[in-house]
Structure 1
Amino acid sequence: MSGTVRADRMLLTGIGELVTNDPAPGRDGGALGIIRDAAVLVEGGHVACVGSGTTGGDLEFNDLEIVDLGGRAVIPGFVDSHTHLVFGGDRADEFAARMAGRPYEAGGIRSTVAATRAASDRELRARLAGFVTELHAQGTTTFEVKTGYGLSVADEERLARLAHEVTDEVTFLGAHVVPAEFADTGAEAYVDLVVGDMLAACAPHARWVDAFCERGAFTVEQSRRVLEAGRAAGLGIRVHGNQLGVGGGVALAVELGAASVDHCTHLTDADVAALAASDTVATLLPGVEFSTRQPYPDARRLLDAGATVALASDCNPGSSFTSSMPFCIAVAVRDMGMTPAEAVWAATAGGARALRRDDVGVIRPGVRADLVELAAPSHLHLAYRPGVPIVRRVWKDGALVSPPAR
Structure 2
Amino acid sequence: MSMLFTGIAELVTCDETVEGAVTDPLHAGLGVIRDAAVVIGGGGEDSAPVIEWVGPADKAPAADWSVSLEGRAVIPGFVDSHSHLVFAGDRSAEFAARMSGTPYDGGGIAVSVEATRAAKDFELRGLIQQRVTEMRSQGTTTVEIKSGYGLTVEDEVRALRLAREVTTETTFLGAHVVPPDRRAEGERAAYLDLVCGEMLQACAPHARWVDVFCEPASPYAFDGDESRRVLEAGRAAGLELRVHGNQLSEGPGVQLAVELGAASVDHCTFLTDADVDALAGSDTVATLLPGVEFSTRQPYPDARRLIEAGVSVAIASDCNPGTCYSSSMPLMVALAVREMGMTPAEALRAATVGGAKALRRDDIGRVQVGQRADLAVVDAPSWLHIPYRVGVPIVRALEI
For the superposition of Structure 1 and Structure 2, which TM-score range results when normalised by the shorter chain?
over 0.9
TM-score normalised by the chain length of structure 1:
0.93
- Equivalent residue letter for 1:135: M
Distance 1:351 1:59 in 2: 31
1:335 equivalenced with 2:339 (yes/no): yes
Equivalence for 2:39:
41
- Equivalent residue letter for 1:198: M
1:239 equivalenced with 2:240 (yes/no): no
Q: 2:61 aligns with which of 56, 59, 68?
A: 59
Aligned-partner SS, 1:201:
helix
Equivalence for 2:111:
111
Provide the aligned length of Structure 1 versus Structure 2.
Answer: 385
Distance 1:376 1:58 in 2: 22
Equivalence for 1:27:
21
Equivalence for 1:377:
381
Aligned-partner SS, 1:31:
coil
Equivalence for 1:5:
none
Residues 22-71 of structure 1 deviation map (CA, whole Å, 9 limit, x = unaligned): 11164222311111111000001000010112x5x14122xx22111122
Equivalence for 2:304:
300
Distance 1:67 1:36 in 2: 17
Equivalence for 2:210:
209
For residues 339-354 of structure 1, the aligned pairs below 5 Å read: 339-354=343-358
1:320 equivalenced with 2:324 (yes/no): yes
For residues 7-406 of structure 1, the aligned pairs below 5 Å read: 8-24=1-17, 26-28=20-22, 29-44=27-42, 45-53=49-57, 55=58, 57-61=59-63, 64-184=64-184, 185-214=186-215, 215-216=217-218, 217-391=221-395, 393-395=396-398, 399-400=399-400
Q: Is the 8 Å Cα contact of residues 147 and 171 (structure 1) preserved in structure 2?
A: yes
Distance 1:156 1:351 in 2: 25
| Offset of residue 377 of structure 1 | 1.2
Q: Any unmatched runs of 5+ in structure 2?
A: 43-48
Equivalence for 1:4:
none
Residues 59-91 of structure 1 deviation map (CA, whole Å, 9 limit, x = unaligned): 122xx2211112211000000000000001010
Aligned-partner SS, 1:357:
coil
Q: Is the 8 Å Cα contact of residues 51 and 59 (structure 1) preserved in structure 2?
A: no
Q: Is the 8 Å Cα contact of residues 188 and 222 (structure 1) preserved in structure 2?
A: no
| Offset of residue 181 of structure 1 | 1.7
Distance 1:240 1:251 in 2: 12
Aligned-partner SS, 1:203:
helix
Q: Share of identical aligned residues, percent?
A: 65
Q: Any unmatched runs of 5+ in structure 1?
A: 1-7, 401-406
Equivalence for 1:3:
none
Equivalence for 1:403:
none
Aligned-partner SS, 1:107:
coil
Distance 1:65 1:348 in 2: 27
Aligned-partner SS, 2:157:
helix
Q: Is the 8 Å Cα contact of residues 37 and 60 (structure 2) preserved in structure 1?
A: no
Distance 1:31 1:221 in 2: 39
RMSD of Structure 2 on Structure 1 (CA): 1.0
Q: Is the 8 Å Cα contact of residues 364 and 374 (structure 2) preserved in structure 1?
A: yes
Aligned-partner SS, 1:106:
coil
Aligned-partner SS, 2:172:
strand
TM-score normalised by the chain length of structure 2:
0.95
Moved over 3 A (4+): none
- Equivalent residue letter for 2:193: D
Distance 2:337 2:28 in 1: 17
Residues 308-329 of structure 1 deviation map (CA, whole Å, 9 limit, x = unaligned): 0000000000000000000000
Change (3 A) 1:10 1:58: closer
Aligned-partner SS, 1:194:
helix
- Equivalent residue letter for 2:200: L
Distance 1:27 1:277 in 2: 30
Distance 1:272 1:378 in 2: 33
Distance 1:187 1:298 in 2: 34
- Equivalent residue letter for 2:30: L
- Equivalent residue letter for 1:150: G
Higher mean displacement: 64-73 or 99-108: 64-73
| Offset of residue 182 of structure 1 | 1.1
Aligned-partner SS, 2:107:
helix
Residues 142-181 of structure 1 deviation map (CA, whole Å, 9 limit, x = unaligned): 0000000000000000001000011000000000000112
Distance 1:378 1:279 in 2: 32
